[in-house]
Amino acid sequence: MPELVSDFALPPRFAAASIEDLLSGGRKLRRVFYEKALRYAGRDAPLARIGRAEPTVLRVVSGFAYRSCLVADGRRAILDVLLPGDFAGLDHIFLARPGEEITAANRVGYNELPSGEFRQLLADPQIGLYVMALMAETRWRGDRIAASLGRLDAMTRICVLLLDIHDRLRRRNLINRPTFNLPLTQEQIADHLGLTLVHVNRTLRRLREQKLVIVDRQVVIIMELEKLRSLAQGLPQPAELPDVDAPLQRLAPTVPWGGGAK
């Protein structure tokens, strides 16, 4: 049997056997969260704090947030960026106290469920399956930035980050052009990509000069989508979770870009 040479390029697919259960699990879970009040957190406000009382599971409805930690010498590492539709605190199923810090990057709307209540939902295997898929997706993202941090240079890392956020927003129908709002400071980008603020700035300038991506203020415009994609080749790819939210109204991010016209 001959080797399939270029099969690595194919994006991972979900096994047919699980898709049905997955989708209904996702719908059930969505329903539960929607019953909860919509809470808001202002910029830089914590959604979860290490060691605090009762941990909760939360779902971001609007805005960006990030998980982070502080290492020994006071530097910060941003482990993951949370977009509208993302869940966070799933490991609070097990933990008596939050083990990570979650912070709002801009004004974030979210729903929250006490972890005890969430744990009871898992009695339903379909919900359980969906939660596992969410956890798997988080891991894929984690693998992806780990590989980026370890093996890509600053320029490529930034491209991959922007590409990933684009794809995630696109898949959720939050955008429909290669342009979006990125409410992260250059310092936060640096902390996420293992760089310094200064070097992020320089690299963004070079990206602009090369007309690959334009990042001005918080507006990102991807000029060469396919070129970015080729830079990300070989990195772990998340399988695309079937979109549970498809029928919902779209949550377009505000794009301060000439008043939003056209």
By CB under 7 A, name the one of 198, 211, 234, 250 that touches DNA.
198
**In sequence order, which residues have a C-beta less than 8 Å from that of residue 238 and are 6 or more positions away?**
12, 137, 140, 141, 144
By CB under 7 A, name the one of 20, 54, 117, 216 that touches DNA.
216
Q: Please identify, using beta-carbon distances, which residue of 127 and 190 lies nearer to DNA.
A: 190
Q: Please identify, using beta-carbon distances, which residue of 210 and 230 lies nearer to a second copy.
A: 230
* C-alpha distances in Å from residue 14, one per residue of 4, 17, 137: 20, 8, 12
Q: How far is CA 84 from the centre of its chain?
A: 8
The residue assigned the tokens 């690299």 is: 203
Distance in Å, CB of 72 to DNA, minimum? 13
229 binds, among a second copy, DNA, none (CB under 5 to 8 A by kind): none
16 binds, among a second copy, DNA, none (CB under 5 to 8 A by kind): a second copy
By CB under 7 A, name the one of 24, 186, 219, 255 that touches DNA.
186
Tell me if 88 contacts DNA by CB under 7 A. no
Distance in Å, CB of 181 to DNA, minimum? 12
Nearest to 156 by CA among 47, 74, 234: 234
Q: Please identify, using beta-carbon distances, which residue of 111 and 203 lies nearer to DNA.
A: 203
199 binds, among a second copy, DNA, none (CB under 5 to 8 A by kind): DNA
Is residue 84 within 8 Å of 58, Cβ to Cβ? no
By CB under 7 A, name the one of 176, 185, 210, 254 that touches DNA.
185
Tell me if 195 contacts DNA by CB under 7 A. yes
| Cα–Cα dist 81/167, whole Å | 13
Tell me if 18 contacts DNA by CB under 7 A. no
**In sequence order, which residues have a C-beta less than 8 Å from that of residue 46 and are 6 or more positions away?**
101, 102, 103, 104
* End-to-end alpha carbon distance in the chain: 54
| Cα–Cα dist 210/149, whole Å | 22
By CB under 7 A, name the one of 109, 194, 236, 242 that touches DNA.
194
Structural tokens at position 257: 């870009």
Distance in Å, CB of 44 to a second copy, minimum? 17
| Residues within the interface to DNA (CB under 7 A) | 153-155, 185-187, 194-199, 201-205, 216-217
